[in-house]
Structure 1
């Protein structure tokens, strides 16, 4: 509407037409408001500031969900004049949400607010769980009034909606409008006024009284794009609201609702590509939080991998299923969130870990842990199907949940209340599922189920449980069971691999495994030896296992999360938390042990070969290494012990040795170790101390295959063990390498390549 006929009583207007920069103009007062954003400071990456996007008219402002907000200084004329209460208020704004908040503590995600609910003062327009929305006001006289959107009028994600809220104190009405039409109203006492929320700031995108998580993260912050926010000190009529809506449609969009291209609203990894600690050839979400990757599946020439994801920020909260796709297990593309909590009785509170398999027609299906806090237990096993049969989309972007849970835990079925992370596979006889749980009064367990039709499941009892008295570090609950066929040993016996992740009191949260046999009749596992083994001997940096049999190559491939090892404060500043580990091929060796190696496809990332030599002394090798620096490298190294008791390589070294990380092997103790006592000078980083574990190498040379990727350090030793750790050097010149030993070893061979980003 033009100012002449429609903007009478306009108190505030943000057009968000700047398109760049860290401030936005409130055009009535001509005040420039600062836009808060974590990337205004950019502690670890290049400065980028807040993100601007295409709006309904000109540009709009993208709010990241955890750090973007606007504080506007309030003037007298914007409160009704001095201490005079507002007898009328209208708010109009174009809203394109990217994600919804969980609704923690019942609080609204604020679009715009200046309120104090405890004192019953001010006003609040905001979103709630699953897209419902509300306008709330505190009235003079001490009453708090709320008007909510009716069912069916939720604000859709990734789409523009025009939202209006009207408070008419004289007329005694509160109204909501969606896309120009009234959808809800409630009566007020005639002559009502909004009580002045004195001492309270006007905030856009942030709740005046947001909940605090981990002492750092403000919840109830808006995620998505806002445009054309107007606030009036009068009650707009229905005709004015409709005219305002149609003016935008007619003036710039040919009478149609404006669209939001996915590229405009999706999480953007670009600001993080220059983060000096963020891995560039490990799979990661575009931004914000992930925990375990899971549900790998191969279909129609592409690998799909999903992951636990909070799209609102780099903190654990309101978990969705993120989604990547790849043709080679190395170069991944970001796809839209595959599964999100919805307004239903299946999984309103979280889409937690699971797995993928194929249905009777060979189409991929997802099994997930459905989070429903109104149920007991709040975890059940659920199913989602791809829309591929209808749309033929090879990226499998769309998934439809089966409306009911498939497996619900009953008393006597494992440790009641802990029942999650289904691992499902199919063979010629049907479908089988393992679910992570425990035994009441005992230790962790994987529970077994079978089905003939993938929908109706029969409980078969415990698949495997270990002796918690003998192995207390295996804990009371197991998560993320993974079961893979390893083929036949030298005697022709079929062997299998079982992986679990123990949690709970006394648990050492690492990835433990057994090799053994399958008793298919009883659907149980018989380990070759009772004591579990570790794949990785780093300290809590190789966790959250998932796995698949690759139909393309027949390999068993394991995926993990590489935990970030940072404080919440640093994750806030960085804008991301965690990434995936490199995909590993696991197999049964001739000697009966489990072999592990990164997938061969990673060689496609090799750039320039920086160094290659054979049979050098320690001094000669280190002289050659002076020419090599980098934080994205692949290193292959074979060391002959000689007289050395300890032998290894320093990585991420500063020229003066002030910062360095030492990977080494102790021959006397048969231990693979990392020393991080000098990794960083940054006082807030956690990477400290010496970690490692057992690795028997009787009479063998030490063969290390090392991947450096900014903060990631992975060392694979003799195809038997890995050591995954994290490093966050404070100095930008921590890029050097040095072979280290306490005797006179022989460097049998060494090759180093630059590695390329997958993004």
Structure 2
């Protein structure tokens, strides 16, 4: 966390959320073209960003979390922002990961791991638990059981570790030789330093040692690297927020180093107002690389403050000065190059060999022959103008062998430089990572300010090799909030399409389409559609067919030039309707709101296959959860299901999901008196999810049996709790709840064990349904027998 924040009050948060609206996505649309917005450096859509948190890899996706105030341009009310990438270079902003008012405690910096062995016992379903650590003056844990889509506080935010003094910034990693998890936490008890803890299950931690060092201030990171790539000679590196580090040994309990003082891995301004701070390495990497991202505080624009550095691969190398950390851009950066120019055998005096070359976002690679040069100084001037002015010079002094005043000795008489130039960022690497300088520069991207100059002073500079690679924008390749299993990239064809917390919002005066890259012929395709002002919204398949919900009160199947079929239906604005299309050859069946029978069953032979997507017509509508061949909501309790009162009900792929600030109900049109009613229930966030039965049409009368994360299974009806059973109910875990109703006798079973057996005579029969309270929950395999 920030050095200047020690005196900040951590009282009532000024912009807290609630379980009924989590996960929040409080961002306006952007094309990422604002002045000073990095085109290949990550920055948040809007709001304040500081420390990277819990960077990790999980099943094909890199996750970057970060300290974040999404509601302002200054540090305040820390959230954990979230972005994802499949290649470490193209990042997509996702909804908020940790949010005040939803997750307990102060949500300050920390690290994360993937619990592939389920040592926490939190796994529920296919996903491995993703565990993150946060908090100040003690460490709390949060976890996700759905691949980092949502997180829950563990044990109501209980501090798993506490220590004397001020403390923060836990880093957790696996230590294979001792088969233990290790936690490193900064504290100032007795002076700066870190405490070490070990654990077998990521929950119960044992203090083992303390490493005290005056230089070691906040945001520790610790990792192992081979020296010169030799796997038989691995050393441990301990770093702090300023990029200071020492190299030493670690036996699983104690860190030791023979170094008297630290080195610095980056020459940028290494403080909370500078250009390189709070670097952290990725966990669970698939290829054993040690990759670091750091916070660049000095970048700011019209709607955001702060950005992240390019991911850099770290190494250890022997040098004349001893073993030193190296930083080099990850190899994936090369794939961002859109065009290249190459020069060789240059001798630079007064003429600029790059005259006529202009570039905005680009990369320079150069080798300078220092021994053969006579110039006293040489280098680059970036973003030059016709009047000779420029935004930044990168200057090598041949006599002192320094680059901008920092040591960069020639190797075999030569110096190699690699520069990454973005709109608000400059990263300089020298001699294959021996030198690193991460900077924020307010480059002027106007066309007249995009010159590039190679210069020499006091003689000639010999340049055996020079390359300029143009780098394109990395933005706009992923989906921030549109959920589903269709492959991208997506393409808009008519209308405008933007991101909201509820999904993809489309606006069109006529027809607008949003099409994925995925094609299909025979299919089961479904999604959630919410009409705002639009006349209609629908699922598009085989490129040309669309099944929509229409505000006039119909479900319609059409293709250009022909309405194939319509069916009268109770379509309501501002509620989510679920459509499912089954296409088999020329036969098309359309199902509405989980009804067991299609509302449309028709044939057409025009198109056999094509892309899938969504449609909006004449206004604004939102689409969400576009899934091909997913399980959907499995139930035999049809016919249609209808929401009652507040809340939203959608189908994320498997099961039905409800979310509400208070009580919300989804009721089937099926009724019953005596029965067995079963469902698999999971509380994602907030308080409770439930089976509702013997309800009337507006749910003013009903019985409800719920699982409640306050630690109870409860049977209740409006105005009266009939019975309770105390037990631990965890967020993210799936429980099987079963109700057997026989006359007035009501029995409730949790995972096969009877926990409630009571009687009540208020309601002899009624509708089956689901309930969610103060948060979000899912239900699947809901059956009546």
| TM bin (shorter chain) | 0.5 to 0.7
Match of 2:245 among 497, 500, 513: 513
Q: Let me know the Cα RMSD of the aligned residues.
A: 2.8
- Aligned pairs for 1:99-498 (under 5 A) are 129-130=16-17, 156-157=20-21, 266-270=26-30, 273-342=32-101, 346-347=104-105, 349-358=106-115, 360-361=117-118, 363-370=128-135, 379-388=137-146, 394=147, 396-403=148-155, 404-411=157-164, 416-427=165-176, 429-440=179-190, 442=191, 444-462=192-210, 464-466=211-213, 468=214, 474=215, 478-487=217-226, 492-498=232-238
Label 1:448 to 1:352 Cα distance change in 2 as closer, same or farther (>3 A): same
Instruction: Note if contact 1:672-1:723 (Cα within 8 Å) is conserved in structure 2.
Output: no
How many residue pairs were aligned? 445
Q: What 5-or-longer segments of structure 2 have no aligned partner?
A: 1-7, 120-127, 476-785
1:746 alignment partner, SS class: strand
Deviation at 1:314, TM superposition (A): 1.5
1:558 aligned residue = 292
CA distance in 1, matches of 2:316, 2:11: 50
* SS of equivalent residue, structure 1 residue 563: strand
Cα offsets for 1:566-607 (capped at 9, x unmatched): 6xxxx5xx1111111000111123554322210000111100
* 1:737 match: 452
In the superposition, the TM-score normalised over structure 2's length comes to: 0.53
Higher helix share: 1
Q: State the 1:749 CA deviation.
A: 0.7
Q: 2:409, 2:349 → 1: CA distance?
A: 28
Q: After superposition, give the CA deviation of every residue in 1:209-260 in whole Å (9 maximum; x if it has no partner).
A: xxxxxxxxxxxxxxxxxxxxxxxxxxxxxxxxxxxxxxxxxxxxxxxxxxxx
- Equivalent residues of 1:556, 1:586 under 8 A apart: yes
In the alignment, the residues of structure 1 paired with residue 73 and residue 212 of structure 2 have an alpha-carbon distance, to the nearest angstrom, of 35
Matched residue, 1:722: 436
Query: Is residue 550–residue 556 contact of structure 1 (8 Å, CA) maintained in 2?
Result: no
Instruction: Indicate how the Cα distance of structure 1 residues 735 and 693 shifts in structure 2: closer, same or farther if over 3 A, else same.
Output: same
Structure 1 unmatched ranges of 5 or more: 1-101, 110-127, 132-153, 160-261, 371-377, 389-393, 469-473, 502-509, 674-691
* Conserved 8 A contact 2:173-2:283: no
Partner of 1:545: 279
CA distance in 2 between partners of 1:750 and 1:423 (Å): 42
- Structure 2 CA distance for aligned equivalents of residues 589 and 581 of structure 1: 22
Distance 1:613 1:528, change over 3 A: farther
* TM-score, normalised with respect to structure 1: 0.55
Q: Which runs of 4+ in 1 moved over 4 A?
A: 102-107, 128-131, 488-491
Task: Choose from 261, 278, 287 the match for 1:531.
Answer: 261
Give the equivalent residue in structure 1 for 2:585: none
Aligned to 1:612: 342
C-alpha separation in 1, matches of 2:362 and 2:130 = 37
Query: d(CA) in 2 for partners of 1:749 and 1:588?
Result: 26
Equivalent residue number for residue 311 of structure 2: 583
Question: Per-residue displacement from partner, 1:328-378 (whole Å, max 9, x unpaired)?
Answer: 11111211111112267x41x4343333343533834333322xxxxxxx5
Q: Secondary structure at the match of 2:374?
A: coil
1:616 and 1:663 map into 2 onto residues whose CA distance is 18
1:661 to 389, 392, 410: 392
Q: Report the Cα distance in structure 2 between the residues aligned to 1:380 and 1:104, rounded to whole angstroms.
A: 14
2:429–2:436 CA contact under 8 A, matched in 1: yes
Question: Is the CA contact 1:369–1:422 (under 8 Å) kept in the aligned structure 2?
Answer: no
Asked whether the equivalents of residues 380 and 405 of structure 1 are also in contact (C-alpha less than 8 Å), the reply is: no
* Distance (whole Å) between structure 2 residues aligned to residue 696 and residue 269 of structure 1: 47
Counterpart Cα distance in 2 of 1:300 and 1:104: 36
Task: Find the counterpart in structure 2 of residue 710 from structure 1.
Answer: 423
Deviations 1:509-565 (A, max 9, x none): x21112222133xx2222252221111112231111111355322111111112225
Q: Which residue of 2 aligns with 1:245?
A: none
Tell me which protein shows more strand as a share of its residues: 2
Residues 408-437 of structure 1 show CA distances to partners (whole Å, capped at 9, x for unaligned) of: 4233xxxx0233333343536121100012
Instruction: Find the aligned partners of 2:345 and 2:79 in 1 and give their Cα distance.
Output: 51
Change (3 A) 1:484 1:422: closer
Distance (Å, rounded) in 1 between the aligned partners of 2:328 and 2:163:
40
d(CA) in 1 for partners of 2:231 and 2:196?
Answer: 28
Q: In the alignment, is the contact (CA less than 8 A) between 2:65 and 2:80 conserved in 1?
A: yes
